[in-house]
Chain A
Amino acid sequence: MFVIVAGGGRTGTQLASLLLAQDHTVHLVEYRPEILARIHYEIPTESIYEGSPTNPQILEQAGIRKADVIAATTDNDADNLSICFIARERYQVGRTIARVNNPRAAWLFDDKFHVDVSFNNAEVMANLIMEEMSMGDMMTLLKLRRGRYSLVEEKIPPTARVLGQAIKDIRFPEQCVIAAIIRNGEIVVPRGATLFEADDEVLAVTDRAGAQQLAELFKPAAPH
């Protein structure tokens, strides 16, 4: 795949490194001298194009006409929107991805400016922190489907209400499935008849609402 990364800040450079490690062709466009000085240590010189990513001539030099994907990762929302817009409008780039800096501008990051996918650091972080606060000991291992589903892990406390109950007898949330149980360091493949024991580590795939209900099911019984 041939990817143009517009903007060489932390996000852009990290993305370019990951893509290069997977043998993709990457052209990174950046103009700020202080950043160029740094990224020359991290990215091979032939992948770096010096110039402003909002200058169409620079984008053409970086090969935008042949790019499969463009990722607009600058710290300026108007720049990212413009880059995606011109990439599709003028150069028919197949896939456009843009970084949202200010969540207030997030409403523009869709078809309006030919943005196929947007990622919003502030929102992802805020959601993560909120989940961590509400979920107690539940840990999110992996985000699936852009964060709508997660793989979570929770340890069953010795006073949990589900202890000694079979999976088939417990009412789990609609959008939730128990993927595995780790017991004494061994994986137990969950069946309907499997009983929960204290200190089981339960792995589940669930949506956000399901995660909350799951945390409720697994929490220690209130002392009388």
Chain B
Amino acid sequence: MNVIVVGCGRVGAELAYRMFINGHRVCVIDHSQNAFRDLPPDFRGRTMEGDVLSEAVLHRADIAHADALAAVTSSDSLNGVVGRVARTIYNVPIVAVRNYDPQRRELVEAFGMQVVSSSSWGAQRMEELLEGGSVHPLISAGNGEVEICDLMVPPAWEGRTVQELAQCGSCIVAAVTRAGRGLLPTSDMRLQAGDMVHVSATPEGMAALRQAVC
């Protein structure tokens, strides 16, 4: 793939290097030459200094033939604008933009692209670790609007049903692991202490579930 990474800060440098290691042709753009010092010495992609809103700079980066573009600067408006330019003017098939400041998340989302809210997402993970107890997040969909978690059934819930559990967090129980064996649960299945339950829920649902069970 031809990949363009806009912004060569911590996220940009790491992303550009990973994509390069995965065998893609990478071009990194930043307005400051100094930014490229963060790239590992064995990075062999292109680096380009310039203002990414300039048509000439985009053409030099060969945006018309790019397969993917990531806008990961620390300016949310710039990420949104560059992403939209890539998507609507140059028809770049895959576009992802970073949301840096949680207060500007709505602004970035208004441009209608895939958004990675790294600050919110990081804070949410930390929050879960601090509040966690026996609930462990496995997958978060989108930017954490829905999560799939593991939950250890405590002795107090011995004998109660899967349906009771689902109702207290308005969540969906996808699987139960009992003594190392995965089981597809029915709503009237009775839980045993030590069962591992795999549930899908919103963060609010997960908090309610945590409160009811832990």
Contacts and interface: CB of A to CB of B under 8 A. Distances in A.
Interface of A: 52, 54-57, 76-79, 81-83, 85-86, 89-90, 102, 104-105, 107-108, 112-113
B75 A55 contact: no
A104 B50 CA distance: 11
- By secondary structure, the B interface counts as helix
B26 interface: no
Contact of B88 (A57, A104, A112): A112
23 contacts: A52-B103, A55-B103, A56-B106, A56-B107, A56-B110, A57-B106, A76-B77, A78-B53, A78-B80, A78-B82, A81-B81, A82-B77, A82-B80, A86-B107, A90-B110, A102-B54, A104-B55, A104-B56, A108-B53, A108-B81, A112-B85, A112-B89, A113-B81
Contact of A105 (B53, B76, B106): B53
B46 interface: no
B51 A102 contact: yes
Interface of B: 51, 53-56, 75-78, 80-82, 84-85, 88-89, 103-104, 106-107, 110-111
A105 to B, nearest CB: 4
Contacts of B85: 108, 112
A54 B82 CA distance: 16
Contact of B77 (A57, A78, A104, A107): A78
Contacts of B106: 56-57
Given A82-B77, A105-B54, A113 B84 contact: yes
A70 to B, nearest CB: 14
